[in-house]
């Protein structure tokens, strides 16, 4: 074993030991309202993008990816599962998105270079596999089929070009929330079980206030997309 290899192993060992001590001390703040330092953020972003690029490089985009039917179907799933974090055309920042770190990208935002399409393979990989240590789930783990994920990716290509009315019309014309073969989902993302027994009425305690963070001035029932 040469001196260079010994030195490299020693450096790695010291680095690992130092990292262990720092982690064990509890001084690393994992709070979502405390941003990373610029160095840590840029390092994580670089590692994330290299990881995605490496794994998405062999993904083949379907030949019918630009089919308007894919966009129509993808609109329903986007409205049901994605809009709270990634917003919709002309939609203000959502309550949940404000509390997430890193902040999810606004996928409805107009592209800086509109003539450049989104990377479809990258979108597919992220939707399918999710991102660790973020709010992005792996939708394939919830049973979403690849064909449905491609529908979502196709919709993402078109959404930044849409006005609010166009978006809402497309969602209304979609098949609603469907993972492929899973029926009984409405356009708003609600789940209906057509085989379930009718729910029995339950006593409800009266309340003078709706869900509010500022003494009644913020009612979740008033959110409109």
Return the percentage of the chain with pLDDT > 90, whole number. 61
Q: Is the pLDDT of residue 53 over 60?
A: yes
State the average pLDDT for the chain.
81
Residue 137 is assigned to a structural domain of this protein: yes
Averaged over 131-157, what is the pLDDT? 95
Q: Is the pLDDT of residue 209 over 60?
A: no
Copy the structure tokens of residue 130. 């999710």
More confident residue, 155 or 211: 155
pLDDT for the residue 11: 75
Is residue 122 within 8 A of residue 52, CB to CB? The reply is yes
Averaged over 140-151, what is the pLDDT? 95
Domain count, the chain: 1
Residue 161 is assigned to a structural domain of this protein: yes
More confident residue, 12 or 201: 12
Is residue 81 within 8 A of residue 189, CB to CB? The reply is yes
Residue 202 is assigned to a structural domain of this protein: no
Residue 59 is assigned to a structural domain of this protein: no
What is d(CA 146, CA 128) in angstroms, rounded to the nearest whole number? Answer: 8
Return the percentage of the chain with pLDDT > 70, whole number. 73
Say which CATH number the domain at 102 has. Answer: 1.10.760.10
Alpha-helical (H) ranges within the chain are 3-25, 38-56, 68-81, 83-86, 95-98, 120-129, 146-158, 164-173
For the ranges 21-25, 140-144, 221-225, which has the lowest average pLDDT? 221-225
Residue 140 is assigned to a structural domain of this protein: yes
pLDDT for the residue 4: 66
Orientation angle between helical segments 68-81 and 164-173, nearest 10 degrees: 100
Q: Is the pLDDT of residue 225 over 90?
A: no
pLDDT in tens, 1-37: 576 667 666 776 786 777 678 678 888 888 999 999 9
Pick the closest to residue 90 from 178, 166, 192 (CA basis): 166
Query: Please, which contacts does 5-9 make with residues 24 or more away whose CB atoms are closer than 8 Å?
Result: none
pLDDT for the residue 123: 98
Pick the closest to residue 119 from 88, 146, 87, 153 (CA basis): 153
As beta bridge partners, residue 191 has 185
Domain enclosing residue 137, as ranges: 71-173
pLDDT in tens, 55-111: 999 999 999 999 999 999 999 999 999 999 999 999 999 999 999 999 999 999 987
Q: Is the pLDDT of residue 210 over 60?
A: no
**What's the pTM?**
0.73
Q: Quickly state the pLDDT bin for 198 (edges 50, 70, 90).
A: very low
Copy the structure tokens of residue 62. 């379907």
pLDDT for the residue 26: 87
| Cα dihedral across residues 154, 157, 160, 162: positive or negative | negative
Residue 75 is assigned to a structural domain of this protein: yes
């Amino acid at each position: 074993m040469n001196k260079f290899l010994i030195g490299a192993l020693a450096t790695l060992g010291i680095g690992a030991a130092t990292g262990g001590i720092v982690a064990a001390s509890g001084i690393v703040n994992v709070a979502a309202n405390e941003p990373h330092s610029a160095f840590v953020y840029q390092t994580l972003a670089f590692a994330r993008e290299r990881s995605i690029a490496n794994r998405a490089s062999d993904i083949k985009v379907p030949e019918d990816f630009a089919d308007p039917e894919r966009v129509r179907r993808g609109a329903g799933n986007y409205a049901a599962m994605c809009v709270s974090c990634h917003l919709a055309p002309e939609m203000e920042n959502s309550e949940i998105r404000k509390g997430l770190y890193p902040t999810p990208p606004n996928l409805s935002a107009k592209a800086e270079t509109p003539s450049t399409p989104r990377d479809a393979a990258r979108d597919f990989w992220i939707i399918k596999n999710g991102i660790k240590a973020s709010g992005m789930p792996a939708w394939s783990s919830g049973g979403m089929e690849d064909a449905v994920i491609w529908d979502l990716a196709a919709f993402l290509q078109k959404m930044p070009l849409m006005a609010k009315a166009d978006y809402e019309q497309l969602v209304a014309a979609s098949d609603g929330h469907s993972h492929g073969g899973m029926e009984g989902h409405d356009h708003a993302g609600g789940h209906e079980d057509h085989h379930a027994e009718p729910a029995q009425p339950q006593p409800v305690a009266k309340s003078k206030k709706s869900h509010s963070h500022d003494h009644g001035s913020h009612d979740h029932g008033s959110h409109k997309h």
